Amino acid sequence: MKIVVAGKGGVGKTTVSGTVSRALAQAGHRVLALDADTNPMLGVSLGLGPEQTDLLVAVREGLKTGETEHERTTEGFVERFGRDAPDGVRLVVASRIDQPNPGCSCCGVSAEQLLGEVEGGDGQIVVGDLEAGIGTVLRLQEGQADVIVVVAQPTAKSLEVARRALELAPERAPRVIVVANRVRDDEDLAVIHAALGEDHEYVIVPDDEAIAEADREGRAAIDVDPDSAGVRALIDLADRLAGIAAPA
């Protein structure tokens, strides 16, 4: 199964991707976490820490200086630009900061292509953390994602991006889930429902001090407090997603 996570910058895509990946791995699934953002940060939310995350990015940057060889096969790409994160999640950084599009155009590998080629079968679950905005969702082809998770928070800007993503998503994946993130009160939820409609499959993640602390400190939210309301909501999302795929 392949899950991609989209939304405006700063809405919590990476926290959702990282926490869901860890929760799935803790439940016994084999998880490949694909960082398809040109500003790769998924390592932080998986619990690798800021330094290790920047180190992985540096490996990708090494291509520019010729220190790293290009990798034209998907398997080689996952091997070379990946590393193991806590709970056995395999993290792959698919993008370079200095490349115009997610993926590696010099290797001929785009984020969408990687999503298309990585094997989501054999019980493996792929979680793709997409670049901010709707660019990658626009380019997604049928078969590259089984689930599109659109993350929104109660701000007009993020809801505008989510609304656009939701216009595109149903043609591109059989299942679409909306994560209403950082919900503090009924008014917040009402704003989200008013903008996006109530008919979607929703996961409501309350505004959460453990997640805020994880953000401040560069840690995985699931390591800061797995029992906080916000983290629990994301673990529930992982359980729901896992309902489709049996553990390996």
238 counts as binding other proteins under rule CB under 8 A? no
CA dihedral sign, ordered 42, 45, 46, 48: positive
14 counts as binding other proteins under rule CB under 8 A? yes
Quote the tokens at residue 28.
């016994």
Task: Name the one range near other proteins by CB under 8 A: 28-36, 86-94, 141-149, 186-194.
Answer: 186-194
Q: Which is nearer to other proteins, 98 or 239 (CB)?
A: 98
100 counts as binding other proteins under rule CB under 8 A? yes
Look at residue 81 and give its three-state secondary structure: coil
160 counts as binding other proteins under rule CB under 8 A? yes
Q: Which is nearer to other proteins, 219 or 232 (CB)?
A: 219
194 counts as binding other proteins under rule CB under 8 A? no
Quote the tokens at residue 25.
């791995």
| Distance, CA of 167 to CA of 32 (rounded, Å) | 27
Look at residue 149 and give its three-state secondary structure: strand
131 counts as binding other proteins under rule CB under 8 A? yes
Q: Are strands 175-183 and 147-152 parallel, antiparallel or unpaired?
A: parallel
172 counts as binding other proteins under rule CB under 8 A? no
86 counts as binding other proteins under rule CB under 8 A? no
Q: Which is nearer to other proteins, 125 or 151 (CB)?
A: 151
Q: Which is nearer to other proteins, 37 or 242 (CB)?
A: 37
Where are the extended beta strands (E) located within the chain? 2-6, 30-36, 82-84, 90-93, 103-104, 109-110, 124-130, 147-152, 175-183, 201-206
* Residue closest to 3 by CA, chosen among 179, 185, 166, 129: 129
> What residues line the site for other proteins (CB under 8 A)?
8-11, 14, 37-39, 41, 44, 50, 53-54, 57, 97-100, 131-135, 138-139, 154-158, 160-161, 164, 167-168, 187-188, 191, 215-219
